[in-house]
A and B are shown apart, each in its own frame.
Chain A
Amino acid sequence: MASHLRCENVTVRFGGIVACNDVSLDVEAGKIVGLIGPNGAGKTTLFNVLSRFQDVDRGELYYREHRVGGKKPHEMISIGLARTFQNINLFRDQSTLDNILIGAHRLMGDPFGAIYSLPYARRREREVMQHATEIAELLNLSGELDQLARNLPYGSQKRVELARALASRPEIILLDEPVAGCNEEETAELRKVVQQINRELGITVLMVEHDMSMVMGVCDYIYVINFGANLAHGTPAEIRANPEVIRAYLGEADE
């Protein structure tokens, strides 16, 4: 029942627009939690808040019950939080392997040993390289390790994005629309991988998704937000039956 990542009464304003309106969310450790809502509901902003890429006008952010609202974006990795991006944000001119290796940046330790190519740094680099190849294997990317990221097919790029997040040995991963644009086969693959990393590696997952088969099939708990505010939260069964949720989605379909 331990809370892994939690935000409380978060409000974010952009000029006159309220992107997040008093939103609270609690991700339980070891679970897969989904964050859904109609388009424009403020999910990505909330994601950015949780990964510290967005400051809040009001509200608190807790990681394992410690306040982390003041941390810089790059510090979140060191406490164990990794994230992916909705529009794939790979290093397009680097190879798949290099992309994953950047993900493992925090495992590399101090930079000065690396610059002067000292033996302990080289040993560490070899270890991290091994780790990266293992992750690539887990995500079925072994054959594409040396290709430039920009030359990869879309499905592979999505997997590299996930591999990069995994490379840092995170405790919790925030996935921003992990199967957006994927076909059924790729979606099924990624679903399996997400379940695998949750069950085998014990990684907590928070996922923003539109694909209901992914969300309902994989999540232990779901939060629904609409117009930047909490609408409902509960198990997939509860959410499926929730009339307000249905209305929010159907209402959108009507327009």
Chain B
Amino acid sequence: MPLGSATGAMTHARTGAPPGGRAAVAALQQRFARQDVAAACLLFVVLLLLPVLPGVQGWMASQATLVIVYVIAAQGVALLVGYTGLVTVGHGGFLAIGAYTAALLTKHYGVDMLVAIVAGGVMAAAIGTVLGLIFLRLAGPFMAIGTLGFAFFVGTVVNNVTIFEGRDGISLMPTNTLFGQPVGDMGFYYVSVVALALVTLFLYSLLRSNVGRALRALRDAEKAAESSGVNRWFYRTLAFSFSACITGIAGALSGLAIHFVSAEVYGDIWYSVDMLVAVVVGGSSMMMGPFIGGLFVVMVPFFFEQLVDFASFLKGVVLFVVLVFAPAGVCELLARPVRALRARRIAALAQAPAAPVGPAVTAGR
């Protein structure tokens, strides 16, 4: 980079126009990437500072935790639906698997919170991999119906198999322990923010990597991707497993957050549909999409607790409006001007002549 900027400065002084060429474009792209990272960090800082803002009360921490947990669950769905192009209407099943694994381990073995959460994720990933082997062979709508069946099946199991205690549910201790220390509601909020950060980081790394490229290729032009050597079965199963794991982690967090796990919540298939709605409305970017979508799905029933019918009606109308005006999600709509501006700058730079590289440069330095 120093080379580029030195020559760049020289050319700039001479012609008055920014130098172009591949190196300059790459540099600009890196700057954009850094801007994105900075924006994400800012959001996390806000989240971390939220509890100390004036006017914020204790119970809000609980509610905020649930929103954050929902966002994580939606991120799992977004990975599958948005990036891999596979529709799932049954991720609630993984939420349940995560929640019950964490709950049972905590109740019967008194494990540390971290262990419970990780176990929830691992269990969901394991079952997700097996499920992927069955369902990934199916075409789009068939796979969707199959996953709905899975969520339903999980619901029936937790309702009827005794260790899951059905609708009575499993009650947990009012405080969880992390590394031996008790963690209250406020502490748990921070834990969930950290979890969100880790999941987001993981997704960021994944999707920027060759694996992300392969998934996008499979989504956009399957045959072309395969002819380029991308193993469709392998990458889709990989995505499915990661997706299940992430939602499983969210499930574990949600169960531990409210200290109660019952079939009434986790056996309800419409939560799976809600998660899909969150991703469709918010968009399937790594974080903002699930964030906006998650907020929408959680807050609408919260604000309209008394007017359930209106909440339902509103949800339907917003869904339709989003589909017509922002089919890629609200997040994509909001990001459009930024993206257009960046694309213009990159195009201009790509057209401009590349900065000369030669002895003049070394002399200059």
Contacts and interface: CB of A to CB of B under 8 A. Distances in A.
A147 B230 contact: no
Given A91-B224, A143-B351, A114 B211 contact: yes
30 contacts: A51-B227, A53-B223, A53-B226, A74-B225, A74-B227, A74-B228, A74-B230, A74-B231, A77-B227, A85-B223, A85-B227, A90-B224, A91-B216, A91-B217, A92-B220, A94-B217, A94-B220, A98-B213, A102-B217, A102-B228, A103-B228, A105-B210, A106-B228, A108-B210, A111-B209, A115-B209, A115-B211, A117-B209, A146-B29, A165-B228
Contacts of B225: 74, 91, 102
Interface in B204-235: 205-206, 209-211, 213-214, 216-217, 220-221, 223-232, 235
Interface residues of A, number: 43
A82 B227 CA distance: 7
A83 interface: yes
Interface string A58-79: 0000000000000011101110
B222 to A, nearest CB: 10
B25 interface: yes
B346 interface: yes
Contacts of B25: 145-146
Nearest to A92: B220
Nearest to A91: B220
A91 B219 CA distance: 9
Contacts of B231: 72, 74
A170 to B, nearest CB: 10
A102 B22 contact: no
A60 B224 CA distance: 24
Name B's interface SS: helix
Given A77-B228, A143-B351, A111 B238 contact: yes
Contacts of B214: 102, 105, 111
A121 to B, nearest CB: 7
Nearest to B206: A115
Contacts of A115: 205-206, 209, 211
B229 A106 contact: yes
B350 A73 contact: no
Contacts of A146: 25, 29, 346-347, 350
A117 B205 contact: yes
Interface of A: 51, 53, 72-74, 76-78, 82-83, 85, 89-94, 98, 101-103, 105-106, 108, 111, 114-117, 121, 125, 133, 142-148, 164-165, 167-168
A116 B224 CA distance: 26
Contacts of A102: 213-214, 217, 224-225, 228, 230
A117 to B, nearest CB: 5
Contact of B350 (A53, A117, A125, A143): A143
Nearest to B350: A146
B221 A89 contact: yes
Contacts of A74: 225-232
A93 B150 CA distance: 33
Given A91-B221, A105-B230, A106-B229, 4 more contacts: A94-B217, A105-B228, A115-B211, A147-B350
Interface in B172-229: 205-206, 209-211, 213-214, 216-217, 220-221, 223-229
A117 B206 CA distance: 8
Contacts of A164: 224, 228
